[in-house]
């Protein structure tokens, strides 16, 4: 039971993360059932992402004095209610409202769960603990969304919505039973936390997150047409490549967490450099199935290794604002997804897949430079965040993430 609490937080992250792209595979069915166009239905994805990006930092700031464990439970309860509403929605307006609610709760849960993992784990294992939570996101993308799509094709779009509510309900019960109490945060006032977010390393780190994830998703959003038009990958093999990308994402989380525990600065620079190199090699290397599959694997492994590493370093750099820094990081990743997909779409319309890849690679190089600047800015010793929690006990060794 030494790592049980971390895997319970993972279960919650998996449940709430299934909501983000579930509509993508169910879009035609929802449009037909609710009598709206597919373009309008697509806004269920966009506005969910906006609610996520806003909800993570804003709701985290508003709830900064709430017991972290109670906040996890409340967030999951509201998420369950939102997804039950989505599954029973009589019209588009109700479904849209439920998507806004679930997006906000997803952002708040992930920001809170990652911060709880950082608090409960010993400093030398903080990145690994955060990586376990983040792995819930990549696992949901790799497994949850395809399974939801398959269910929707055979049983209608409402069943996956209700199924996600069921997963979140199970996670809620597990959190209530397993996750240790964390008490009320009686640390520095909000003004002090916000000042900590304005220090140079934190600002550079958040910028690096947006640029890095934007670069990756500029290309990843259009991976399927890239595989089909340039690499000659079609049909079932496309599904295999996407599944491989998901597995590498899950593995990357683990490797990134382990690497950041031992050498955080080196892990950040290496993962950013490998990702930039992979994006630069897409056009010359991804000209056949073998080259494309190998490149996607390396790219996704490196990109997702970056995620827990940058969050752990940012948490430390922010000092008393560590929890809020994590919430802004969670939001920054989502901003990167939206920006990457949007600018990638413009590049696609202007010059096709080659322009998309060039834009992604160029942004990746800029992101690498920003990561190097982040590492250099953070070299001076920064105090560890020292949360003061009323009524909290020091986690027992059995509750910490082990070696």
- Say how far apart CA 99 and CA 96 lie, in whole Å: 5
The answer to whether the CB of 175 falls within 8 A of the CB of 72 is yes
The answer to whether the CB of 144 falls within 8 A of the CB of 14 is yes
Give the pLDDT confidence of 135-150 residue by residue, as tens digits: 888 888 777 666 776 7
The answer to whether the CB of 326 falls within 8 A of the CB of 64 is no
pLDDT at residue 74, as a whole number:
95
pLDDT at residue 393, as a whole number:
37
pLDDT at residue 382, as a whole number:
42
**Distances in whole angstroms, Cα of residue 210 to Cα of each of 53, 192, 215, 349:** 12, 24, 8, 23
pLDDT at residue 25, as a whole number:
67
Given the DSSP bridges, would you call strands 184-185 and 389-390 parallel, antiparallel or unpaired? antiparallel
Buried b or exposed e, range 187-216, using 16+ CB within 10 angstroms? bbeeeebeebbebebbebbbbbbbbbbbbb
pLDDT at residue 210, as a whole number:
95
- Say how far apart CA 124 and CA 250 lie, in whole Å: 21
pLDDT at residue 236, as a whole number:
75
pLDDT at residue 301, as a whole number:
93
Q: CB-based contacts of 382: which residues, under 8 Å, 6+ apart?
A: 201, 316, 317, 319
Handedness of CA 142, 143, 144, 150 (dihedral sign): positive
pLDDT at residue 247, as a whole number:
86
- Both tokens assigned to 207: 């910028």
pLDDT at residue 2, as a whole number:
58
- Say how far apart CA 277 and CA 273 lie, in whole Å: 6
Q: CB-based contacts of 103: which residues, under 8 Å, 6+ apart?
A: 19, 20, 47, 48, 49, 50, 51, 52, 55
Up-side HSE of residue 1: CA atoms within 13 Å toward CB?
8
pLDDT at residue 379, as a whole number:
62
pLDDT at residue 144, as a whole number:
66
* pLDDT beneath 70: ranges in the chain: 1-3, 24-25, 144-146, 149, 183-194, 196-197, 379-403
Please give the model's pTM, rounded to 2 decimal places: 0.79
- For the chain, domains (ranges, CATH) are 1-186 (1.20.1250.20), 187-379 (1.20.1250.20)
- Say how far apart CA 211 and CA 218 lie, in whole Å: 10
pLDDT at residue 324, as a whole number:
80
pLDDT at residue 322, as a whole number:
77
């Amino acid at each position: 039971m030494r790592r049980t609490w971390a895997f319970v937080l993972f279960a919650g992250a998996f449940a709430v993360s299934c909501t983000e792209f579930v509509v993508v595979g169910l879009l035609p069915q929802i449009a037909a059932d609710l009598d709206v166009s597919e373009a309008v239905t697509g806004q269920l994805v966009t506005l969910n992402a906006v609610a996520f990006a806003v909800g993570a930092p804003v709701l985290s700031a508003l709830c900064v004095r709430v017991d972290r464990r109670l906040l996890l439970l409340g967030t999951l309860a509201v998420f369950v209610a939102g997804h039950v509403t989505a599954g029973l929605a009589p019209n588009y307006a109700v479904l849209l409202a439920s998507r806004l609610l679930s997006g906000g709760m997803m952002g708040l849960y992930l920001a809170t769960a990652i911060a709880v993992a950082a608090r409960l784990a010993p400093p030398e294992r903080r990145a690994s603990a955060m990586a376990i939570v983040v792995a819930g996101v990549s696992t949901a993308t790799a497994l949850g969304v395809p399974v939801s799509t398959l269910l929707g094709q055979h049983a209608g779009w409402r069943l996956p919505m209700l199924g996600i509510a069921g997963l979140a309900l199970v996670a809620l019960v597990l959190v209530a039973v397993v996750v240790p109490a964390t008490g009320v945060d009686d640390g520095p006032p909000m003004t002090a936390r916000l000042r900590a977010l304005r220090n140079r390393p934190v600002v550079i780190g958040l910028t690096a997150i947006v640029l890095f994830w934007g670069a990756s998703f500029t290309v990843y959003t259009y991976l399927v047409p890239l595989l089909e038009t340039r690499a000659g990958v079609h049909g079932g093999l496309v599904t295999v490549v996407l599944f491989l990308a998901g597995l590498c994402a899950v593995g990357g989380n683990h490797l990134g967490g382990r690497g950041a525990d031992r050498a955080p600065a080196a892990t950040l620079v290496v993962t950013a450099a490998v990702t930039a190199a992979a994006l630069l090699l897409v056009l010359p290397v991804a000209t056949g199935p073998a080259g494309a599959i190998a490149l996607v694997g390396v790219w996704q492994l490196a990109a997702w290794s970056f995620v827990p590493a940058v969050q752990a370093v940012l948490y430390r750099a922010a000092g008393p604002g560590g929890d809020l820094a994590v919430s802004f990081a969670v939001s920054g990743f989502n901003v990167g997804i939206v920006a990457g997909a949007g600018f990638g779409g413009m590049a696609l319309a202007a010059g096709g897949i080659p322009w998309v890849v060039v834009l992604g690679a160029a942004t990746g190089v800029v992101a690498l430079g920003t990561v190097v600047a982040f590492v250099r800015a953070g070299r001076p010793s920064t105090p560890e965040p020292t949360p003061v929690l009323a009524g909290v006990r020091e986690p027992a060794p059995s509750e910490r993430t082990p070696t």
